[in-house]
């Protein structure tokens, strides 16, 4: 009998993994990966938006990489990751150059067009840091079930863009680290006040980069709790099969 594997760190559970390319309406090629449950169709889809590329963010930023490594197997969730324009990773380099969140509108559009083309179900945007700005600014334009914001800095998204989510029926969830470098729970409550329906989740002891297995598990649990709550609690060991 095979011994169980502890799910932590860089453990990658079975999935159908496909290198993909996205094409933007302004003519760029973006590289990425789609991870699907290995022997069944996904019940929902995460379209992930990575942290700031000029500060080292890319499609392999650890929370997004671990979501793709674990959630297809543990929660029947498809995970789409990609490098925004001008971003490099081991998967390769996307065309173009960093647009400071402006021309990245086309990158989000390309990802959502891919989701529609493949018929991937119940898409959610999952942004982390810079990626939350893209989700806030552009997410309402697309047929998503909701958006999950991890450590939103709110450096680029304006109060008008935040307030535009008021009255939107789609769910908006924000995980706010207690010890964040940019936006902590009290300040987040003020900035997001125009959206009374937002679900603000203060994370005690949390930090902007969500370093460590306990913080990784907390983030992934919060994501699954919105996207496919029947898959909770997430196991900490993999028995195979």
DSSP H or E stretch at residue 92? strand 92-93
pLDDT of residue 2: 73
**4 domain residue, yes or no:** no
- Please report whether residue 223 resides in a domain: yes
Q: What is the CATH number of the domain that holds 128?
A: 3.40.50.1820
Q: Within a domain: residue 148?
A: yes
Does the pLDDT of residue 239 top 90, yes or no? Answer: no
The residue with tokens 């840091």 is: 129
The stretch 177-187 carries a mean pLDDT of: 98
Is 236 contained in some domain?
no
> Which pairing describes strands 29-36 and 16-23: parallel, antiparallel, or unpaired?
antiparallel
**pTM confidence score:** 0.97
Enter the tokens of residue 49.
């938006």
Query: What is the pLDDT at residue 241?
Result: 57
Residue 237 within a domain: no
Enclosing domain of residue 27: 16-231
pLDDT digits (tens, 9 = 90+) for 71-124: 999 999 999 999 999 999 999 999 999 999 999 999 999 999 999 999 999 999
On the question of pLDDT at 1 being above 60, the answer is no
Decide if 149 is inside a domain: yes
Cα–Cα nearest to 96, from 19, 33, 25, 157: 25
Closest CA to 26 of 107, 127, 143: 107
Specify the number of domains making up the chain: 1
Both tokens of 14, joined, read 């079975």
pLDDT digits (tens, 9 = 90+) for 209-222: 999 999 999 999 99
Dist. CA 161–CA 165, nearest whole Å:
7
- Is 5 within the bounds of a domain? no
Instruction: Work out the pLDDT band at 3, boundaries 50, 70, 90.
Output: confident
Q: Which helix (H) or strand (E) holds 168?
A: none
In a domain, 71, yes or no: yes
């Amino acid at each position: 009998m095979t011994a169980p594997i502890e799910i932590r760190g860089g453990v990658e559970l079975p999935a159908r993994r496909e290198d993909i390319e996205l094409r933007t309406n302004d003519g760029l090629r973006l590289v990425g990966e789609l991870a699907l449950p290995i022997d069944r169709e996904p019940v929902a889809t995460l379209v992930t938006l990575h942290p700031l590329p000029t500060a080292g963010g890319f499609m392999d930023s650890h929370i997004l990489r671990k979501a793709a490594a674990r959630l297809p197997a543990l929660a029947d969730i498809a995970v789409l990751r990609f490098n925004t324009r001008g971003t490099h990773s081991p998967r390769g380099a996307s065309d173009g150059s960093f647009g400071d969140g402006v021309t990245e509108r086309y990158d989000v559009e390309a990802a959502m067009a891919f989701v529609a083309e493949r018929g991937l179900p119940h898409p959610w945007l999952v942004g982390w840091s810079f990626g939350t700005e893209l989700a806030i600014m552009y997410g309402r334009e697309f047929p998503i079930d909701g958006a999950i914001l991890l450590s939103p800095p709110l450096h680029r998204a304006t109060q008008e863009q935040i307030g535009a989510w008021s009255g939107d029926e789609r769910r908006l969830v924000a995980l706010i680290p207690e010890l964040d470098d940019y936006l902590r729970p009290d300040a987040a409550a003020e900035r997001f006040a125009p959206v009374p329906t937002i679900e603000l989740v203060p994370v005690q002891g949390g930090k902007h980069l969500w370093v460590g297995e306990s913080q990784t598990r907390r983030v992934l649990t919060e994501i699954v709790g919105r996207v496919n709550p029947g898959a909770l609690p997430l196991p900490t060991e993999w028995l195979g099969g």
